[in-house]
Chains A and B, each alone.
Chain A
Amino acid sequence: MNALRIIEPGFGVTVQDLGRPRTQHLGIPVSGVLDPVALHLANALVGNAADRAALEIRLAGPTLEVGSPTVRLALAGTRTPLEVSGAGTVPAHRSVRLRRGQRVRIGPLADSGSAVLAVEGGFDLPAVAGSLSTCVRARIGGLAGRALVAGDALALRVADPAPRGECRLPVDTYLDETGPVRVVPGPQRDAFTGAAFDLFLATAWQVTHDADRMGIRLEGPVLEHRCGHDIVSDGIVTGSVQVPGTGRPIILLADHQTTGGYPKIATVISADIARLGRLRPGDSVRFEAVSIEDAQAARATQRDWLEETAASLEPAGAWLDRDALYRENLISGVV
């Protein structure tokens, strides 16, 4: 089997695409990548369709070994480089073609809460409800419905991608967005006092360590409910900001429950979901209220930017495979 073999699993590394938005009425979480912008860019770099399933890395990355003639990879959503055994580092946002037996390691992510590693052609895994996304809680998708472990082999759909010029993303400043995260107030804006809503927007919230693929708990002042913190359970979207009895908000992410009984003070707009995926414990986050029309326009702008960016990748200079160079005596022979 042509595969990527998992030597070290990292922590919480899962196969993800854009998830299962159409089976929420059965109680199945959407899942999918925390950072859909990174998925789009990583796929573009290796020549895939934008929604092809890839590996999502949170915290510490894995060490992988190429178990096929070659494989083409690219990492996005972080500036952490790929470390290729005995051959130095390859920057993120750049495609690279590796040979059988080469190992690639992704160290702890220093600058992002998640990152995406795409391979040309993607993985040969069974789809569940139209998606390869892993949902560990529901035990579906990815490899046996779980995070990767040492010894796993991810079957590749393309065993030997054609040699071609590699490419890179000319600018990666999308990682530097620092403005407030935009929200549309509600659906339960009325469950909070006016002062609580103002405080929600005025506060620099801190991301706690209680952050996973289901959601991020924020630390800051207590937001007061107008009349209790229980509502009749209703539906949840990715980006819902719910406020339980503690008065501290929780932003719900890809693996959120499909329904819930806490009031939701606001909802992060779809164009800013990717930024939530990059938040790390200790980061500070502010919110800004926008209209639904502005939210929709922001999403269209993001789509246009992604399509233009994916269509205008730059050729990347040859990556120096030092092993190969030594073998061919090209370095030691140069004066």
Chain B
Amino acid sequence: MVGQEPDREFTPVFLPAGDTGLVVQYGDTVDAAVNRQVRGLAAAVTGLDLPGVVDLVPTLRSLLVHYDPLVVSHAELVRAITPLALRRHTTGLSGRRWRIPVCYEDDCAPDLPLVAELAGLDPAEVVRRHTATEFEVFMMGFLPGFPYLGMLPKEFDLPRRSNPRIRVPPGSISVAARQTTVYTLASPGGWHLIGRTPVRFYDPGREHPILVRAGDLVMFEPVPMARYRELNAWPEGHEIRPEDGR
């Protein structure tokens, strides 16, 4: 649908989430351009420094503005944000880039054979394509520090598992719907697990518990099982710093 309805894609719709949330929504399409529009809008609204705005949560195709109704009203926010929401935003990058080691072998990758079959590729080619993509962090959510990264090539437009797992181990790298994620805590999960990282994307004991943010760039690098085990053996996991992303 991209290109056929450009106006609808980038025309904002304002929806109320009660008296404390304002949703600015752009259509139903999940792609990088729409998500950059959302992240770019978040940056622009941050720049306005509006009184009463408590937090800005960018998601795949909408921005949730959390606000204090004792300070600002829905109507006032719509008025202030509309000119920015109508503008095209094409960047939305944070300037941070990460290289994340991932083990794509054996117990670390229980669904790799299935994903290969569904995508019509052999497992090594799945890993090659997953590590050849530079991902953008589209949004954070579901768990603390949990990133949704996009986009994988079309062959990865996979449905979720019909039977979600009760417990996905932390560090699991999953794929579905042309996106990939990193499970930050042990949790139920319905996406396909193709690898595991020794990097702690969430560590409540760290000064900054959250590793990545919306707008960061991420590339995954394959590491053999022995290296994964070595890096994972540190109590705080594998420590890592961002590179300059621009």
Contact = CB atoms under 8 A, between A and B. Distances in A.
Contacts of B61: 232, 234
A28 B209 CA distance: 10
A78 interface: no
B28 A232 contact: yes
A43 B148 CA distance: 40
Nearest to A25: B57
A186 B15 contact: yes
Contact of A138 (B60, B70, B141, B204): B204
Given A21-B54, A299-B70, A237 B144 contact: no
A128 B204 CA distance: 9
Nearest to A235: B64
Given A232-B61, A235-B23, A25 B30 contact: no
B48 interface: no
Contacts of A140: 204, 209
Interface string A1-43: 0000000000000000000011111111100000000000000
Contacts of A247: none
Contacts of A293: 73
B19 interface: yes
Contacts of B148: 233
Given A26-B144, A140-B204, A184-B16, A234 B25 contact: yes
Contact of B55 (A22, A233, A239): A22
A259 B57 contact: yes
Interface string B46-62: 00000000111111111
A28 B143 CA distance: 7
| Chain B contact patch, size range | 35 or more
A235 B60 contact: no
Nearest to A272: B18
Contact of A232 (B54, B60, B144, B213): B60
Interface residues on A, range: 35 or more
Nearest to B203: A139
Contacts of A324: none
Interface stretch (A158-166, A198-206, A262-270, A326-334): A262-270
A187 interface: yes
Contacts of B58: 25
Interface string A272-308: 0000000000000000000011011001100100000
A137 B142 CA distance: 11
B144 A292 contact: no
A284 B29 CA distance: 39
A270 B143 CA distance: 24
A7 to B, nearest CB: 28
B59 A237 contact: no
A240 interface: yes
A244 interface: no
B145 interface: yes
Contacts, number: 152
A138 B186 CA distance: 11
A235 B21 contact: yes
Contacts of A236: 17, 64
Contacts of A296: 19, 69, 73-74
A89 interface: no
B140 interface: yes
Contacts of B25: 187, 234
Most buried by A among B17, B56, B64, B74: B17
Contacts of A270: 18-20, 69
A22 B204 CA distance: 17
Interface string A143-183: 00100000000000000000000000000000000000001
A268 B30 CA distance: 28
A296 B62 CA distance: 23
A131 interface: no
A257 B25 CA distance: 19
Given A138-B144, A184-B18, A296-B19, A24 B70 contact: no
B69 A299 contact: yes
Interface string B63-83: 110100110011100000000
B141 A187 contact: no
B146 interface: yes
B60 A233 contact: yes
9 contacts: A24-B55, A25-B56, A138-B185, A234-B23, A240-B18, A270-B20, A292-B75, A295-B69, A299-B70
Given A137-B185, A187-B25, 9 more contacts: A26-B144, A29-B144, A186-B15, A234-B25, A259-B142, A267-B18, A270-B20, A292-B73, A296-B69
